[in-house]
Amino acid sequence: MKRSVAVRVMPWTILAFLSVVLLNGQGPATGQEKGGAEPPAVEKAKESRGRLPSYYRRVVDEKQREAIYAIQKEYAPKIAALKAQLETLTNERDAKVVAVLTPEQRKEIDDLKAAAKAEREKKKAAAK
């Protein structure tokens, strides 16, 4: 039995949305850690309840909308913690991989990275 496109796409849409929210400042509570007065634009962003996945606005009522926002709010810190854990593990793995190289190999890798960066900057400057 073939599932509808909405059923197949919906989990990925929600995951993509949460990724964007988490990568853009860890949600509305980020500004509170810094303290001090914030510009009105930032305060307005704090009041945001969340975002509905694509096409949901057309089919959900206000009660469902609030339930979706509550679910997103519930899972946001859990997802943020897992992303932080993933970043920590990735950095740990990368450090172990670099430790396998000899100093000469590390220098060669650094030189290759620098050359690639210079090439990207050159292409970027040429595009302007």
Give domain limits for the chain: 1-82, 90-128
pLDDT of amino acid 128 = 85
Q: What percent of the chain has pLDDT over 70?
A: 62
Q: What percent of the chain has pLDDT over 90?
A: 59
Residue type at 9? V
Neighbours of 21 (CB within 10 A): 19
| Cβ–Cβ < 8 Å for 51, 13 | no
For residue 25, pLDDT over 90 is answered with no
User: pTM for the full model?
Assistant: 0.51
For residue 95, pLDDT over 90 is answered with yes
| Lowest mean pLDDT, pick from 17-21, 31-35, 52-56, 117-121 | 31-35
